[in-house]
Amino acid sequence: MVANRETHEPERLPRRRLKRSEYDVLVDQGAFEDERVELLFGEIIEMSPQKPPHSAITQRLAKLLTLALRGIAEVQSHSPIVGAEESEPEPDVAVFTPEGVFGLDHPTHVHLVVEVAHTSRLRDLGVKRRLYALTGIPEYWVIDVAKREVHVMREPSEIGFRTMQTYPIGSGTILNLLVFPDVAVAIDELFEGL
């Protein structure tokens, strides 16, 4: 930012947002080799470091979903998906159906996105919630490590998700995936020992 000479306040300069294609070229050239970043609404955003509970919950959920969805859908962890409006977020867990030749582009047909929030709660319930709703992802979960609760959002629209329910850890809640209702996740098991 540049300071305004009269008020000594920072002056907002016009920004030019990155396109996904430009971001992908930078990634291919190694521009962010030693950094954890993602593209959100055309801006490069630093990702929060992962603490052990975050990693443990992410690994448990990814393993559970991979086993339950074998032959039905794919599960990826900490990998990019195609997002709305020049975005390429890297959710903690994503469930998707491959389209075309799997591996030539990031997933676009995503059924569920999960973010595990330890220090990223405001971003996950703010800008990422808006982004995933605009992308049309039918179901978005935020597993809040600090508050020990899970937020489940469904029914995406242009203004956000129409429904959001919060389930506390220790409540014995079992979540069934919206698109794959036979797949159940006992949220208490994700926090076991943590």
Please compute the mean of the pLDDT values over residues 121-135 and round it to a whole number.
95
Percentage of residues in the chain with pLDDT exceeding 70? 93
Say what the pTM is.
0.88
Please compute the mean of the pLDDT values over residues 120-133 and round it to a whole number.
95
The torsion angle over the Cα atoms of residues 136, 50, 38 and 62, rounded to 10 degrees, is: -40
Phi, psi angle pair for 168, to nearest 5°: -75, 145
Of the pLDDT bands very low, low, confident and very high (cuts 50, 70, 90), residue 51 is confident
HEC secondary structure over 55-110: HHHHHHHHHHHHHHCCCCCEEEECCCCCECCCEECCCCEEEECCCCCCCCCCCCCE
pLDDT at 4: 56
Of the pLDDT bands very low, low, confident and very high (cuts 50, 70, 90), residue 61 is very high
Please compute the mean of the pLDDT values over residues 63-77 and round it to a whole number.
96
